[in-house]
Amino acid sequence: MSGISATRSKADLRTAALAARDALSDEQRAAAAQAIAKRGLPFEIAPGTVVSGYAPIRSEIDPTPLMLEIATLGARLALPTVTARGQALTFRAWSPNDKMVMGPLGILEPSPAAPEVVPDIMLVPLAAFDRLGHRIGYGAGHYDYTFAHLRKTKAVRGVGVAFAVQQIKAIPALAHDVALDYVLTEAKTFDFRSL
């Protein structure tokens, strides 16, 4: 667990965790992504399950190896698209050879022609996470809004994907912050469902 102090603000915690993530080499990043893919998800996936990933930005861990492994189990893959700040993400079907478009935040997204889907499992990027499953993202709240919206009608599992150096002691969670069910790192799988 990182020595990043829990008494700091979310912005300070985010900055420190991102600095730790940024310090990893390309080789460490690739090895971590492969280790997570090899271990896979900590639960069974029924054929046809919709699993959304994300197109990595900055120094985020790449979920693609894990997604490709999940697809071999019969899962259908999807990626998020951003509509507007303060609104839930939407999801479109995706496969590795699909042509992508640049979204409004400069993140690659599936083509608007790709069918819209609702995920059963969401692989979630993050800046930091703690031992209770709280996460810090980039501050826009896209995933919190999305979980709150989707979970009104469906039990969507939230699975954070991160490097071990992104774990911190505690995150000052607010009422609207949605805790993750799991976090996968290269070192360990965290299961927060019983907390």
Name the 3-class secondary structure at 69.
helix
- Phi and psi of 193, rounded to 5°? -65, -30
SS3 30: helix
Each residue of 43-95: pLDDT tens digit? 999 999 999 999 999 999 999 999 999 999 999 999 999 987 778 899 999 99
Specify whether the CB–CB gap between 135 and 159 falls below 8 A.
Answer: no
Name the more confident of 41 and 140: 41
Residue 147 in this model has a pLDDT that exceeds 90: yes
Q: Of 170, 123, 145, which is closest to residue 1 (Cα–Cα)?
A: 170
**pLDDT for 2 beyond 90:** no
d(CA 177, CA 192): 15
Assign 165 to helix, strand or coil: helix
Name the band, by pLDDT with cuts 50, 70 and 90, for residue 8. Answer: confident
pLDDT digits (tens, 9 = 90+) for 150-162: 999 999 999 999 9
Q: What is the mean pLDDT of the chain?
A: 92
pLDDT band at 138 (very low <50, low <70, confident <90, very high): confident
Residue 176, helix vs strand vs coil: coil
Distance CA 120, CA 156 (A): 5
List of domains in the chain: 10-191 (3.40.50.10420)
Q: How confident is the model at residue 106 (pLDDT cuts 50, 70, 90)?
A: confident
- What is the residue whose two structure tokens read 């991102």? 18
Identity of residue 14: R
In this prediction, residue 110 carries a pLDDT of 95
- How confident is the model at residue 162, as a pLDDT? 98
